[in-house]
Amino acid sequence: MDAHNETTAAVLDGFPASPARRPAGWLRRVSGDRAELIRYWPVVQNMVAQELRVRYQRSFMGFLWTLINPLLMMTILSLVFSNLFPTRDNYSLFILSGMVPWGLLSGTVVESTNCILGNEPLIKKIYVPKLIFPLVRALLNLVTTTLALGALFVLLIPLGARPTWPMLLLPVAMGLLFCFALGLALFVATANTFFRDCGHLVAVFMQAWYFATPIIYGVSDFPEAIQWRFWLNPAFYYIEIFHNILCDGQWPGMSLVATAAALAFVSLGIGYATFKSNEDKMVFRL
Amino acid sequence: MPRLSPTKTRWFFDSKGRNRGVRRDQAETDRPLIELRDVSLKFINYADKTFTIKRAFLQLLLRRQKPVPDSEFWALRNINLRIQRGERIGILGPNGAGKSTLLRLLARIYPPTTGEVSVQGTVAPLIEMGAGFNIELTGHDNILLNGAMLGFTRKQMLAKVDEIHEFTGLREFADLPLKYYSSGMYARLGFGVATSIDPEILLVDESLGVGDATFRKKATQRIRDLMGRSHAVILVSHEMSSLRELCDRGVWIRDGEIVADGPIDQVVRDYEAWTKLAQSA
């Protein structure tokens, strides 16, 4: 019956010794992932482009909705808060410059919670690096945020928004925030694959974080003695950069940008490490 | 039981990203296309896949054991396999032996629990039709998306679109979202895209029953053409006659282990003898 067992054994013996390979360190993984992402970049492009198209094809007013939502929010908040704090001038611009970048952060994180579970049919049928799912979510949010920021800024020109030189720094600020958000997204996507109720917690957490970050209020509304508490909030640095650039038209401080970059690096590092060390187990958990 | 080595699972996959300076044909001639070294794959049947923080917390708090423990199942055990260029391999075995799992492992869908899998070159998995389709998108867009997942750029795929339409006969539906396709049309499109590329390694799973009789005939012919063009073919099937015809090496798998590996005629003969024996017993 097992007539060919010898053959198998012979094949086994004929195996050359495993060639000495460098240990699978993190540097190797990063470079491997880089190669994979380059190879699969058309997939990422396709997914982003087509998601955008589907999103805007099917809804009646398409892209306008992404504008109307923050616009309405801004109007409401402006009306309410300019009555509460009449001292603040140009409140709508202030709100815009905080809320739109926050949209990038919270949108990326909240949408990423479900990105592995939601793509289960794909993951189980064909190989794609799982890294691309959070990446696609983040890129999608980056695109919509950039568009919304541009369009809303143009709309606010009558209200006193003026293009200034520091705006040249906007791509850097966006890039840093993107990296920070992607790091969190990777972490959250991993956590939600193993603990399915993470999504709910994340949504609540993001809501709380929103109110803990100076977006609808300014840091200066607080007494100087307790302002340092905002430094504990990682999102504060990013929002502050956007406030500086868009609202005040100033160059953000060097230390502010450096802190934001460091935080982005840490977030991306933790997110990536978490994701990669659990990546192999994900398919069995779906 | 396979031993659990302390080392992490390692993948070596020489896609186009690496070895860029070296000419591919020079670099790879001496290495087998596919090499599985002592590969085992363990499935854990989680008692509940919807594990939540809440439950983890309760378990910790109440020091309660899981009501149903997770059970383990070795789908593949100590698989050693080297596949050289030009080999046509037929995998046979009873249901649940691990044939499809092996294909999925080669397609990188499952990572091995222990051991090493090294696959050189592009892989075309004909394992499941229409994998990676997005039903919201049109047929045309899905061709491009699926092509991208198989490792082809937009430009390369655009050159193939015409030929795919020609083959599937779905040209007039190209601008229709996939959700309005019938299941037969869906499968045909999936088949058309997956077989339109020129892979180095072709993985084919048996039940490729796509569409009506005429289409099936066309499909069979197309798979044979593709087998002729690709460097290595791995075919999983229950039909001994087609295995005999298409393959030159047979691998018999039972309970996740390789029972026999040799010339296809011999392996098929032994397998058939064994099934007869098992049936009469």
Give the model confidence (pLDDT) of B191-243 as tens digits: 888 888 878 888 888 665 555 677 777 877 887 788 778 788 888 888 888 88
Q: Is the model more confident about B136 or about B75?
A: B75
| Beta-strand relationship, B88-92 and B232-236 | parallel
Residues A176, A138: contact at Cβ < 8 Å? Answer: no
Q: Which A residues 177-196 touch B at CB under 8 Å?
A: 194-196
Rounded to the nearest angstrom, the minimum Cα separation between B213 and chain A is: 26
Domain presence at residue B20:
yes
What value does the mean pLDDT of chain A take?
Answer: 83
**Contact assignment for B49 to A285 by CB distance below 8 Å:** yes
Domain presence at residue B176:
no
Rounded to the nearest angstrom, the minimum Cα separation between B148 and chain A is: 5
Q: With bands split at pLDDT 50, 70 and 90, how would you rate the model's confidence at A58?
A: low
Rounded (5°) CA angle A90-A94-A97: 140
Domain presence at residue B33:
yes
Q: Which range is least confidently modeled, A203-212, A256-265, B2-11? A: B2-11
- What pLDDT is attached to residue A274? 93
Among B12, B37, B46, the residue with its CB nearest the CB of A15 is B37
Q: With bands split at pLDDT 50, 70 and 90, how would you rate the model's confidence at A140?
A: very high
Q: With bands split at pLDDT 50, 70 and 90, how would you rate the model's confidence at A1?
A: very low
- What pLDDT is attached to residue B28? 46
Report the pLDDT averaged over residues A85-114. 85
Is the pLDDT at B130 greater than 50? The verdict is yes
Q: With bands split at pLDDT 50, 70 and 90, how would you rate the model's confidence at B23?
A: very low
What value does the mean pLDDT of chain B take?
Answer: 79
Give the model confidence (pLDDT) of B74-107 as tens digits: 889 889 988 888 888 999 888 888 888 898 898 8
Residues B79, B6: contact at Cβ < 8 Å? Answer: no
Grouping H, G, I as helix, E, B as strand and the rest as coil, residue A36 is helix
Give the model confidence (pLDDT) of B9-18 as tens digits: 444 454 444 4
- A·B CB contacts under 8 A: 129
Quick check: A4 contacting B, CB < 8 Å? yes
Best to test chain B binding among A1, A4, A12 (most B CBs inside 10 Å): A4
Report the pLDDT averaged over residues A37-46. 88
* Domain harbouring B74, CATH code: 3.40.50.300
- What pLDDT is attached to residue B67? 65
Least CA distance to A13: which residue of chain B? Answer: B80
Q: Is the model more confident about A156 or about B35?
A: B35
Residues A162, A249: contact at Cβ < 8 Å? Answer: yes
ipTM for the complex shown: 0.78
**Contact assignment for A35 to B15 by CB distance below 8 Å:** yes
Quick check: A216 contacting B, CB < 8 Å? no
- What pLDDT is attached to residue B1? 44
- What pLDDT is attached to residue A133? 94
Report the pLDDT averaged over residues A106-112. 94
Crossing angle for the helix pair A91-112 and A234-242, nearest 10 degrees? 140
Among B51, B125, B132, the residue with its CB nearest the CB of A122 is B132
Domain presence at residue B103:
yes
Per-domain boundaries in chain A: 25-285
Q: Which range is least confidently modeled, A1-15, A45-59, B90-104? A: A1-15
| Nearest partner of A285 among A130, A139, A92, judged by Cα | A130
Task: Please state, in angstroms and rounded to a whole number, the distance separating the CA atoms of residues A165 and A153.
Answer: 15
Domain span holding position B59: 10-122+239-280
Domain presence at residue B212:
no
**Contact assignment for B43 to A284 by CB distance below 8 Å:** yes
- What pLDDT is attached to residue A88? 67
Rounded to the nearest angstrom, the minimum Cα separation between B14 and chain A is: 10
Report the pLDDT averaged over residues B29-51. 79
- Output the pTM of the full model: 0.83
- What pLDDT is attached to residue A6? 42
- What pLDDT is attached to residue B231? 80
Residues of chain A above pLDDT 70, percent:
87
> Tokens 């143009």 map to which residue?
A154
- What pLDDT is attached to residue B242? 80
Q: Running DSSP on this structure, what letter comes out for residue B27?
A: H
Residues A91, A76: contact at Cβ < 8 Å? Answer: no
- What pLDDT is attached to residue B243? 83
Domain presence at residue B112:
yes
Give the model confidence (pLDDT) of A181-232 as tens digits: 999 999 999 999 888 888 899 999 999 999 999 988 888 888 888 888 888 9
R_g over Cα of chain B: 21
Quick check: A1 contacting B, CB < 8 Å? yes
- What pLDDT is attached to residue A107? 93
Q: How many domains, in total, are found in chain B? A: 1
CB burial class (10 A; 0-12, 13-18, 19+) of residue A86? exposed
- What pLDDT is attached to residue B3? 46
Q: What are phi and psi of B215, to 5 degrees?
A: -65, -35
**Contact assignment for B152 to A42 by CB distance below 8 Å:** yes
Q: Fill in the amino acid letter for A122.
A: L
**Contact assignment for B10 to A127 by CB distance below 8 Å:** no
**Contact assignment for A195 to B52 by CB distance below 8 Å:** yes
**Contact assignment for B52 to A24 by CB distance below 8 Å:** no
Instruction: Collect all residues of chain B within an 8 Å Cβ-Cβ radius of residue A124.
Output: 109
Joined tokens for residue A135? 């990446």
Least CA distance to A130: which residue of chain B? Answer: B109
Rounded to the nearest angstrom, the minimum Cα separation between B144 and chain A is: 8
Domain presence at residue B205:
no
Task: Please state, in angstroms and rounded to a whole number, the distance separating the CA atoms of residues B103 and B126.
Answer: 10
Q: Fill in the amino acid letter for B216.
A: R
Best to test chain A binding among B76, B106, B145 (most A CBs inside 10 Å): B145
Rounded to the nearest angstrom, the minimum Cα separation between B260 and chain A is: 5
Among B10, B56, B149, the residue with its CB nearest the CB of A43 is B149
Among B17, B44, B260, the residue with its CB nearest the CB of A3 is B260
**Contact assignment for A126 to B149 by CB distance below 8 Å:** yes
- What pLDDT is attached to residue A87? 65
- What pLDDT is attached to residue A59? 65
The DSSP code sequence of A54-71 is: HHHHHSSSTTHHHHHHHH
